[in-house]
Structure formats: C-alpha cells, structure tokens
C-alpha cells in the first residue's frame, strides 16, 4: 500500500484509508461531472435560446424518456453511495477480534496513552504495532477533544463523562508522509508534516534499538523517507483556543506545541510487534537524544536529560518555569530541598524525593501557598520517569 500522497490527500497508512479515499474521490468526481454537465448545459441553453428579433418562444412538450433518465440516474447513484458508505461505516466500527486495546485520555493540553498491563506511555507519544488492529478507548479528563490521525483517516470526539472508541490497523512503518514542499523550510534531520517540522530518524538509537531488538522506524539510517512519527492532532478547534494563560508560559520553548487544542499534538510511532512487546515489558524508554545504550538510563546525566525532555513533552513547561520566572505554577528553579508551605492546612515540608513524587501523582494532596488558582492535573508517570524529573529538578538548583 502507501500510494503516494496527492494534492488532496496525504499518503495512506492504514487498512481503512484506501476505502475512505475511494469514497471521497468517487463523490468528488461525481460532483465534478455533474457540476460541469449542469452548468455547461445551462450556458449552452442560454445561448441557444437567447432572445432574437422575430423569433417567438414555443411551449416545450413532455419528454418521458428524459424524465426517467434524470429520476433514475441520481437514484441509482444515491443507492450505491448509501451502500458503499454504510459498508465503510461498518468496517470503521466493527473491530477485528485479535486487537490490542489502548486507553486514550485527552486533557488540556496533552494526550495520555495507557497500554495493556497498565503501561503508561510517555505523554503525547503513542506506540502501536504494525499490521495489528488497535482499538482506542478514549475519554477526556476535562473538555471536549477530538483524536485525529489524518494518515489513518480516523477521527473521533473525545468526550468528558463517556467513552468513545475507534480502531485502525497501521500498514507499514516507513514511507512518504505528505507531498512536502521546500516552503516548509525544515532543518537538517527534520521532515515536514503539514508544514510542521518533525525530527527524522538520524541514527539507529532514534529507533529504539537502544533498548532492544525492536525497531520502530524500519528503513536505513539516513534514508530520506525514514520517519520517526506520524502526527496526531486534536481537531477540537472550536473549543478554547488558548492555554492556561496567553503568556510566555504557554510556549516556553517556542515550539508552539501543546498549548491549546490546535497545537495539542502527539507523535504516533508504528513499530514492529517485537518492539511493541518489548515496550510492554520494559516501559517507556528514555529519548534517543539522551544518548543511552540501555533502557534503565543509569547515571544522573542521562536522567536529567530525560527529565528535561519530559518537562517539555509532558507539558509541565506550560505551567512551571525552569528559570525562576513567575507563572501559574511554582518555578522549578531552586525547588529541590527548599522549604514549602501549603494552603490546605498541611504542615510545611521540604521538597525531597517523596514530596516531588506525590506532587506529580497526586498534586491536590498539598497545595503550595499562593498557587490555588490553577489545578495541576495528576500525571501517571513511570518510576523511571519520575526519577528522571527529580534529577532534572536537582540540576536546576545547582
């Protein structure tokens, strides 16, 4: 599969994509033919029967054949469209039996993914096995979101107070994503998704070989089409546009990512079945740029690097600054082993490991003095990830 992207449609990366595109193009070409036919004959009749001196209009008679023709042609077309559309709808709704079930939670402004066995992936990163049906069971922690993967042709609302679900089967791990123009101005080692620049796999460790045999990129190192991730969008553009506040805290790294619905992006990585099994066993790996050769990320340097990466990718940076500047949440600069005072009557405490761990997993337990206005969402990070964040916070106090 993976026909090239066209002007109208990005490449097809799921089993359902060809069906969706076929229907789209069918309706498109029917519309083109009828539009040209109708406006063409209108114009022609206008010219043919234009007013001329000395010519009198004659009443037209009844043409039975013509009546039959223009009654039954649209009827047949519509009957076919209904049949094909309904069939496509069923394909999109009925999940094949041997599927993997992944929970998706939307929240302002992140995506959380929980895999079988309770393995929580890194925020805003969804790993799925190739050639395997994947069902997403989706819910929202706050407002209406909308999970959208254009390359899979799937999109569904993520609604507070109820579950919605969708399924897809990814067909390959590598290939061309979109007809990218030079306009996108992506830097070296980046590729373009709808005008956004996203890192391309430059080295094998980007492909998670760092932590096992499993590879999620396929292709060869340096291969132009070797893509690390497909984009996931939140298509709930009509909801609140801006983040907590429209300030520097919305976008501290200038990436414009995950500050409102329209930038609420996640990376979707299609990986081999072996790679996925390994992921379920080991948990989320440290990012490749932290240059580790093992999954555990021993060593403070790797941990701090991982923590900094989580600080950006998990959206902590939307509220917490790392350089002491004020914002909706306490800055992390100087936080380590600092004395904290609380609003809800809790005893003052020192910001140690246990305190930071609790602040992440159960932020409402103790509210820092003066920060009662914004509620921090509870994050479900792995122990390794929490260790990494602590290591990063430690470096901010040196």
Binding site for ligand HEC (CB under 6 A): 244, 314-316, 318-320, 328-330, 335, 340, 351, 356, 359-360, 363, 366-368, 371, 374, 376, 379, 389
Token digits of residue 241:
């546009």
Q: Shortest gap between Cβ of 351 and Cu ion (angstroms)?
A: 31
For ligand HEC, the closer CB: 107 or 207: 107
The torsion region of residue 94 among left (phi > 0), alpha (psi -120 to 50) and beta comes to beta
Q: Shortest gap between Cβ of 155 and ligand HEC (angstroms)?
A: 25
Considering CB distances under 5 to 8 angstroms, the limit depending on partner class, which of Cu ion, ligand HEC, none binds residue 391? none
C-alpha distances in Å from residue 300, one per residue of 206, 290, 359, 376: 21, 11, 21, 27
Among 127, 257, 261, 366, binds Cu ion (CB under 5 A): 261
Cβ 233 vs Cβ 111: under 8 Å: no
- C-beta neighbour count of 154 within 10 angstroms: 18
For Cu ion, the closer CB: 231 or 286: 231
> What does DSSP say about strands 133-140 and 190-193: parallel, antiparallel, or unpaired?
unpaired
E-strand spans in the chain? Answer: 100-107, 110-115, 119-120, 125-129, 133-140, 145-149, 154-158, 164-169, 190-193, 196-199, 230-234, 266-271, 339-340, 349-350
- The pair phi, psi for residue 42, each rounded to 5°, is -60, -50
Give the CA count within 13 Å in the CB-facing half-sphere of 109: 31
Q: Under the criterion CB under 5 A, does residue 236 sit at the interface with Cu ion?
A: yes
Q: Shortest gap between Cβ of 46 and Cu ion (angstroms)?
A: 50
Among 145, 153, 278, 320, binds Cu ion (CB under 5 A): 145
Helix (H) or strand (E) holding 148: strand 145-149
Among 229, 234, 310, 390, binds Cu ion (CB under 5 A): 234
For ligand HEC, the closer CB: 15 or 314: 314
For ligand HEC, the closer CB: 268 or 335: 335
Cβ 282 vs Cβ 383: under 8 Å: no
Considering CB distances under 5 to 8 angstroms, the limit depending on partner class, which of ligand HEC, Cu ion, none binds residue 302? none
Cβ 302 vs Cβ 286: under 8 Å: yes
Cβ 391 vs Cβ 303: under 8 Å: yes
Considering CB distances under 5 to 8 angstroms, the limit depending on partner class, which of ligand HEC, Cu ion, none binds residue 218? none
> What does DSSP say about strands 266-271 and 125-129: parallel, antiparallel, or unpaired?
parallel
Q: Under the criterion CB under 5 A, does residue 264 sit at the interface with Cu ion?
A: yes
For ligand HEC, the closer CB: 166 or 316: 316
Considering CB distances under 5 to 8 angstroms, the limit depending on partner class, which of ligand HEC, Cu ion, none binds residue 200? none
Cβ 203 vs Cβ 259: under 8 Å: no
Considering CB distances under 5 to 8 angstroms, the limit depending on partner class, which of ligand HEC, Cu ion, none binds residue 261? Cu ion
For Cu ion, the closer CB: 147 or 355: 147
Considering CB distances under 5 to 8 angstroms, the limit depending on partner class, which of ligand HEC, Cu ion, none binds residue 11? none
Q: Under the criterion CB under 5 A, does residue 153 sit at the interface with Cu ion?
A: no
Q: Shortest gap between Cβ of 363 and ligand HEC (angstroms)?
A: 4
- Rule CB under 5 A: which residues touch Cu ion? 145, 234, 236, 261, 264
């Amino acid at each position: 599969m993976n026909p090239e992207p066209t002007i109208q449609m990005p490449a097809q990366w799921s089993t359902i994509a060809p069906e969706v595109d076929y229907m789209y193009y069918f309706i498109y070409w029917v519309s083109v033919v009828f539009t040209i036919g109708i406006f063409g004959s209108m114009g022609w009749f206008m010219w043919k029967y234009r007013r001329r001196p000395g010519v009198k209009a004659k009443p037209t008679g009844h043409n039975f054949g013509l009546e039959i023709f223009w009654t039954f042609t649209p009827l047949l077309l519509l009957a076919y469209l209904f049949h094909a559309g309904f069939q496509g709808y069923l394909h999109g709704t009925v999940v094949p039996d041997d599927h993997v079930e992944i929970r998706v939670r939307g929240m302002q402004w992140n995506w959380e993914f929980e895999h079988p066995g309770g393995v929580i992936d890194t925020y805003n990163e969804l790993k799925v096995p190739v050639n395997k049906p994947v069902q997403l069971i989706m819910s929202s922690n706050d407002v209406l979101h909308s999970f959208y993967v254009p390359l899979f042709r799937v999109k569904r609302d993520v609604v507070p107070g109820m579950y919605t679900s969708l399924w897809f089967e990814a067909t390959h791990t590598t290939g061309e994503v979109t007809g990218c123009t030079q306009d996108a101005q992506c830097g070296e080692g980046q590729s373009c998704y709808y005008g956004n620049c996203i890192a391309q796999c430059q080295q094998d460790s980007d492909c998670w070989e760092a932590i096992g045999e499993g590879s999620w990129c396929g292709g060869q190192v340096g291969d132009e089409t070797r893509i690390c991730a497909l984009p996931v969008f939140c298509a709930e553009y009509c909801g609140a546009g801006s983040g907590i506040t429209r300030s520097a805290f919305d976008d501290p790294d200038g990436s414009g990512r995950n500050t409102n619905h329209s930038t609420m992006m996640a990376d979707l990585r299609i990986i081999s079945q072996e790679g996925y099994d390994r992921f379920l066993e080991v948990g989320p790996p440290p990012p490749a740029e932290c240059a580790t050769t093992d999954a555990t990320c021993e060593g403070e340097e790797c941990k701090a690097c991982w923590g900094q990466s989580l600080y950006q990718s998990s959206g902590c940076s939307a509220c917490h600054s790392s350089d002491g500047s004020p914002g909706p949440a306490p800055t992390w600069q100087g936080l380590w082993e600092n004395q904290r005072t609380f609003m809800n009557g809790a005893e003052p405490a020192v910001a140690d490991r246990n305190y930071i761990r609790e602040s992440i997993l159960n932020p409402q337990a103790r509210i820092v003095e003066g920060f009662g206005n914004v509620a921090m969402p509870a994050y479900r990070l792995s122990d390794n990830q929490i260790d990494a964040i602590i290591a990063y916070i430690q470096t901010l106090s040196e």
